[in-house]
Amino acid sequence: MLEACHERVQRTLALLERLRDHVRQHGADGNARQAARDVLRYFDIAAPLHHEDEERHVFPALLAQATPGMRALVERLQQDHVAMAADWAAARRPLLALAEGHAQSFSEGDGAVLDRFAGRYADHIRTEEDQAYPAALSRAEPAALASMGREMARRRGAG
């Protein structure tokens, strides 16, 4: 489920990039406004749930390994979550303005904010998939994984 969330994040980041290209070429038309709403919805609702999943399930499993390297990795990922939330607060402003029809394009400053947000997210995902998830999975029992999946689904209203 965690990796599936990462796939959705990557698809939404790709949508954000296509949106930026579209706005450069066509302005803030109806398609652009809908894409902006889609990006806003994902990062306002689903992404925070995903971060909570990691904070509840992945990071404690990694900290249980108690190695200095693993503690440093978890601290970095936790710091990323804080920074990503701040990046999103800044990135959502120009997206919301576009979605609501108050902006017809993204400024150079908006582009820098959107680049920082997308870049940090992409780096964070790579670190989790290359280091954190394999380490957590190597120690997880099947019953614990099933319980984790049920809890994640329950918090999303599916269980």
Say which DSSP state 105 is in. S
Count of helix runs (H) and strand runs (E) in the chain? 8, 0
What CA–CA distance (Å, rounded) separates 150 from 159? 7
pLDDT digits (tens, 9 = 90+) for 42-101: 999 999 999 998 998 889 888 987 789 999 999 999 999 999 999 999 999 999 999 999
pLDDT digits (tens, 9 = 90+) for 86-106: 999 999 999 999 999 999 999
End-to-end Cα distance, the chain: 14
pTM reported for the whole predicted model: 0.88
Can you tell me which residue has the tokens 């609501």? 100
Contact 156, 34 (CB under 8 A): no
pLDDT digits (tens, 9 = 90+) for 113-132: 999 999 999 999 999 999 99
Contacts 24+ apart (CB under 8 A), 140-143: 140/61
